[in-house]
Amino acid sequence: MGEVPESHPRYASLKARKQLTDAASAGLLADSALIAHGRGEAFDYLIGEVTCDTAREAIGEVAARLQSADNPVISVNGNTVALAGPQMIACAAALSCPIEVNIYYRTPERMRVLLSALDTQRQEAAALYPELADKIAKVEVLGANPDGRIPNLDGPRANCHTDGILSADVVLVPLEDGDRCEALIAMGKTVCVVDLNPLSRTARMASVTIVDELTRCIPILLTILMNETKLPNHEWDNEQNLQNAIKVMLRNLE
C-alpha cells in the first residue's frame, strides 16, 4: 500500500489500514491483528464511519469514570499503539495515570518493540499537545516487568503490573478480548472499552462500551479530559447503549 492522499474520500480508513500494515511489518502486531482490524472495518462501514450520538454518550461516560477514579489505568495492545499511541499517552497525561502495555500473544520481542514505539510516540504526543508536554514527560509506561497476574486467565496474557492494572479501579482498555474483559470485570473493576462490534463478548461484558473507531473517538475523549469535568451517570445502561448502536447499523443496512 503506497501513501494515501489526504483528498481521498476514505482517507481516514485507508490511513488506519496503512498504519496497521506498517506496524505489522515493524513487528508490533500478532498474526491475527490485521484480521481483527478488518472485522472492525466492516462494523465501521455499518455504523457509517462516523461517531454516532450513542458513541458520544459513551465517550462522555468513559471520561467521567476515568476522571472520578482513584487509580485509573490505560491498557494498550499492539493495534492501539499502532493506531493511536500518541493520543493514548496524551489521555494518560491529562489523567496523570500510567499506561500499561498488555498484549494477548505476549513475546519478549513484541513487548520490546511496543515499549520502544511508545518511547517515540511520547515525543510525538508532546509535539501534538504542547499544553500537556510536562505531564506527557511524566507518564509512566508499564509492561516491561509484570509482577502480578489477572486471576482466572491462563498463560502470559494474564501477566500485569501490581501498580498498574492489578490495583486500578477503572481501566480504559480499547480493543480488548472477551476473556480478559470478563476477568477484569470479575475483579470488580470498571472496564471501559472501544469495540466496533456491539455484539461482541467484550462489548457486552464491559462497564462502558464506546462503539466507534479508535482514531475517531480517542481525540474526542482527549478533548473532554483536557477541558471539562464530567460526572458519572449512575444510571448508565450499557446494554441500552449497545442496542442504540445496533439500531444505527440496522438503519444503514436497510
Summarize as ranges the residues that interact with a second copy (CB under 8 A).
1, 17, 20-21, 24-25, 31-32, 34-43, 45, 197, 199, 246, 249-250, 253-254
Nearer to a second copy, 9 or 188 (CB): 9
Quote the least distance from Cβ 68 to a second copy, whole Å. Answer: 34
Q: Which amino acid is at 241?
A: N
State the Cα–Cα distance between residues 173 and 233, nearest whole angstrom: 20
CA angle 61, 62, 68 (to 5 degrees): 90
State the Cα–Cα distance between residues 170 and 241, nearest whole angstrom: 19
Nearer to a second copy, 128 or 153 (CB): 153
Quote the least distance from Cβ 179 to a second copy, whole Å. Answer: 14
How many CB atoms within 10 Å of residue 134?
10
Quote the least distance from Cβ 170 to a second copy, whole Å. Answer: 29
Nearer to a second copy, 50 or 199 (CB): 199
Nearer to a second copy, 34 or 226 (CB): 34
Q: Tell me the CA distances in angstroms from 69 to 107, 163, 167, 197, 226, one per residue in order.
A: 31, 15, 12, 26, 16
Nearer to a second copy, 96 or 243 (CB): 243
Quote the least distance from Cβ 227 to a second copy, whole Å. Answer: 34
State the Cα–Cα distance between residues 181 and 94, nearest whole angstrom: 24
Residue with cell 504526543: 125
Quote the least distance from Cβ 171 to a second copy, whole Å. Answer: 25
